[in-house]
Amino acid sequence: MKRIDFAIKKEQFHFGMLMIFIGIIMPIHFNHENLEIYNLISKSLEKWDKEFIIVATFKIVFLNTIRAFPNYIAIFTIIDSITLKVNQKKLFFLKFLPIALVMPLIYFFIKIFFNIELTIGKSSILGLGWVYYYSRFNFKRTNIPKKSLGLLVFMMGIQWLDITSYFQILGTGELTSDLHKASEFMETTTILNILGLVFFILLTSFSILLLSIFKSQEKAMHIFEKELENRYMKEARYLVHDLKTPLFSIRTLVEVLKMQEENEKKIEYYSKIENSLDKTNLMISEILKTNLKTPVKISEIFDFIFSYLSTHNGISKIKYENYLSNDYIIQANRILLCRAIINLIINAYEVSKDKVEIVIKDYKKYFYIIIKDEGPGISDEDILRIYNDGFSTKNSTGLGLSFVNKVLEEHECKIFFKKGTDIGTKVYLKFLIGGKDGK
């Protein structure tokens, strides 16, 4: 069975679509008439002056670079915004191929709307090849301006290669073709070839140098983050030890007091304290095991959740219904997953203060946890911003749902928010079933 995961970073994707629009309208605002390129070519022929041909060449390179740049930035950004996995394996080529078709599509729209003929020549082919190569590195820590600079430099380099008479079998634009005819007539082809190759080598080398710098920066940042993580884990181990020592002492004292106590009510309180200390001790132990996942039954997860919520003020307001056909098993970090679900339940209670319904049911290869409150509901605008760090509707730090989303992503769980018809909000957690009855 193939599992396909598809995700889009909306802001990046929208920026890419904006670049496509700019790429379509660019030939109207930047064309040979603005730069008087054909006037320069005509003057060179009239006065038999090679300087006009060289100036026209520089202007053509500038014009072609500026017009093509938004198209490549669009392709590059859209590729970067999309995550495509099949059975947890990234398939870069499958997402690159359809997006690469954006280029001929843009040229088609330019032809339809503005009657300007642009061809897919050697510069376009080399540009797409560079975008494919560049995108495979998946620079997570390099910002878009830096990536754009590397792409711009390479784009200018291949426009200079397009000026040469080499590889014309791959095709060339009408403007460049006319320049070639004029240079052949004036016997300046060799000059343009040398000029084109020199600038192509210089700019391409600089672009490769930038790529190398970006890779080095990515590697350095990765090493730094690893060192920071290791330092955090080392400090966390000391913290766990320092926290568990007084907990052990407190539990020992509670046991002694419990053995000496004859009052049944006080004995019950001591038992609750012991239970809370055990849960706290377990949660502290799990601090160092954030990546540890073990097989756990759904019933065990909710036993832990309701044990944790047993002392919460809203426990009497929670209605729990389990419609699962089997006690399914999932691979999970029990503490983290329970904390995430508890966070959602407490949020539901805090906005409702009345009744919270929790329903579990299965459908085909998934099971769903549905948490419903009777609060004022959530707006469409808030649903879009709900996972952002710092966002909150309760004047809090806004880290709760960000934490929940991160934990659920690690457990390959999808989360959806749905407004109620009149009041309230439903939260859907969608899990892939991992097994039945321990199998």
Instruction: Say if residue 168's pLDDT is above 50.
Output: yes
Give residue-wise pLDDT tens across range 15-46: 888 988 888 888 888 888 888 888 998 988 88
CA distances from 275 to 59, 282, 327 (A): 78, 11, 25
- The residue that leads in pLDDT, 63 or 142, is 63
The pLDDT of residue 397: 41
Whether pLDDT at 390 is above 60: no
Instruction: Reply yes or no on whether the pLDDT at 388 is more than 60.
Output: no
Among the residues of 188-291, which ranges form H helices? Answer: 189-260, 264-285
Residue-wise pLDDT tens digits, 356-381: 999 999 888 889 999 998 877 777 66
Has residue 99 got a pLDDT over 90?
A: no
**Mean pLDDT, all residues of the chain:** 79
- Pick from 211, 7, 155: which is nearest to 95 by CA? 7
SS3 at position 406 = helix
Task: State phi, psi for 237 to the nearest 5 degrees.
Answer: -65, -45
The per-residue pLDDT for range 191-238, each reduced to its tens digit, is 989 999 999 999 989 988 988 888 888 888 878 777 766 765 666 676
| pLDDT surpassing 90 at residue 393 | no
| Contact partners, residue 274, CB within 8 Å, separation at least 6 | 251, 254, 255, 258
Bridging pattern class, strands 356-363 and 318-322: parallel
* The pLDDT of residue 125 is above 80: no
DSSP lists the bridge partners of residue 427 as 371, 417
Here the tokens at position 350 are 């805090």
Q: Kindly write down the DSSP assignment for every residue of 41-99, as one continuous string.
A: HHHHHHHT-HHHHHHHHHHHHHHHHHHHHHHHHHHHHHHHHEEEEETTEE-HHHHHHHH
Best CA proximity match to 174, nearest among 54, 26, 100, 63: 63
pLDDT for the residue numbered 371? 92
pLDDT digits (tens, 9 = 90+) for 276-302: 787 777 767 666 665 677 888 888 899
> In terms of pLDDT, which residue wins out, 38 or 335?
38
**What single-letter amino acid sits at 89?**
K
Give me the pLDDT at residue 439, please: 40
CA-closest candidate to residue 320, choices 370, 264, 281, 392: 370
Task: Give the three-state DSSP class for 135.
Answer: helix
Check residue 145 and give its pLDDT: 81
The answer to which of 159-168, 182-191, 305-314, 396-405 has the lowest mean pLDDT is 396-405
